Structure 1
Amino acid sequence: MITAFVLLDVDVARVGEVAGLLTEVPGVREVYSVTGRYDLIAKVVVAHNEDLADVVTGRIGAIAGIETSETVIAFRSYSPRLLDEGFALGE
């Protein structure tokens, strides 16, 4: 599985609307409103790179109100449990 995070600049008057539309896109698992440089972050999980291209450029990119986006692909996932196990190796 491929996990990516799509960082979105959105027309401030349409943040709620865009967030709702994002939750309806197949492959979008979670949507967060955030502080800082971006307005929304969408977590996308798909099986193949081609699927990611379809979701990001085909579906997300077509949503009115999105001004710019940046997509980052996750290499590895770290959960609190995995981090705890890693630090306990020397014990």
Structure 2
Amino acid sequence: MSAFFVQIKCELGKSYQVATAIADSELASEIYSTAGGYDLLVKFYLDEAEDVGRFIAEKIQPIAGIRDTYTIITFQAF
């Protein structure tokens, strides 16, 4: 399993709805509210053979209220 993070920019006033939708989907390991350019930071795990881009495009970006995503791929935990 590989961990990766997705920063999510939400439509104004939709951060809690987006976070709830992600939590309800049971796809995320952790969900954080953040300040700055993005509203949420979400940690996901996928099997090595799964395509991160397809996962984001098909499972995350279609969620109502999401305006933009920024994916951070991780390589090793220390």
TM-score of Structure 1 vs Structure 2, range by shorter chain: 0.7 to 0.9
Which whole-Å CA distance do the structure 2 matches of 1:39 and 1:49 have between them?
29
Structure having the higher strand fraction is 2
- Match for residue 69 of structure 2? 69
Q: Residues 53-64 of structure 1: matches in 2 within 5 Å?
A: 53-64=53-64
Segments of 4+ moved more than 4 angstroms: none
Q: Which runs of 5+ in 2 are unaligned?
A: none
Alignment match, 2:44 = 44
Choose between structure 1 and 2 for higher RCO, CA contacts under 8 A separated by at least 6 residues. Answer: 2
More helix by share: 1
Instruction: Give the alignment of 1:16-27 within 5 angstroms.
Output: 16-27=16-27
- Superposition RMSD in Å: 1.6
Look up the SS of the partner of 2:20 in the other structure: helix
Distance 2:54 2:25 in 1: 11
- The TM-score normalised by the length of structure 2 is 0.86
SS in 1 for 2:53: helix
Helix, strand or coil: the match of 1:13?
Answer: coil
User: What is the total number of aligned residue pairs between the two structures?
Assistant: 78
TM-score between the two structures when normalised by the length of structure 1:
0.75
Residue ranges of structure 1 left out of the alignment (5+ in a row) = 79-91
